[in-house]
Amino acid sequence: MDLGLADRTVLVTGGSSGVGLATVRALLDEGARVATCGRDPQRLARAAARLGAEPDRLFTGACDVRDADAVRRFTEEAARRLGGRLDGLVNNAGQSRMKRLDETTAEDWRDELELKFAGVLNPLTAARHHLRASDTAAVVNVNAVLAKQPETRLITTSAARAGILNLSKSLATELAAEGIRVNSVCLGLVDTGQWTRRHAAADSGLTYEEWQAELAADRGIALGRLGRPEEVAYAILALLSPRASYITGTSIDVCGGVGRGIL
């Protein structure tokens, strides 16, 4: 099926690795033009080299999503380089903080909430006037199932993720009159570099596949494995697509069937 993303321009934050990089690659494969940012210019350069896209189809720039001015400058330059328009925004920048309540500090709470909320609001504020001019404007916020199923081992991240899910619903209502759809993808455990590093650090004697299966069983993942970044990317592209033009204010779980409830 043609997703209708060819010649559309999409900005993806956190695109130097993992889900962000997989999303950039999938968009390029669909014929879209893509701008992506990250904090580490060297990682971005390596990612861009692997993608091998022409400069008129891929623009990268170092940018911290917590810096509103830097995000605005990057967004304007991206639009200028890629045809003067933006049709989609994927808010993907973020990380998890593995701490329980008694291990967290007031600074941990401030940092986590700032990163999660700035990671959505700063790119959206910078891109909004461009999106308003598009006939297929869509925003996808990359979230986590932690938003719906709190995890005490990630207490600050769980709380922040829940707030972003709530915010996404409000944004969908507020921006509908401007023709901008807002949806979320809530991912579970995804097989990125952090898990291979944890496997190596565990020194369990298990192969990575065996260790991954044990991890999946411990976390209640029905499919018995971690997800792949491209599996999340496909859901993101489906929500960006003009074919999803009547979908807003919703979320799709990409988590292998993990769940402690029916919602």
| Per-residue model confidence (pLDDT) at position 258 | 85
| Per-residue model confidence (pLDDT) at position 65 | 95
| Per-residue model confidence (pLDDT) at position 260 | 59
pTM of the predicted model as reported, rounded to 2 decimal places = 0.94
249's tokens: 């204010």
Q: Which candidate, 198, 202, 249, places its Cα nearest to that of 226?
A: 198
Would the pLDDT of 194 be above 80? no
Segment 232-247 shows an average pLDDT of 98
Q: Which residue has the higher pLDDT, 160 or 153?
A: 160
Local confidence band at 261 (pLDDT 50, 70, 90 cut-offs): low
What is the CATH T-level fold of the domain 9-190+228-252, as seen in this structure? Rossmann fold (3.40.50)
Q: What value does the mean pLDDT of the chain take?
A: 92
Would the pLDDT of 263 be above 60? no
Query: How is the chain split into domains, by residue range?
Result: 9-190+228-252, 192-226
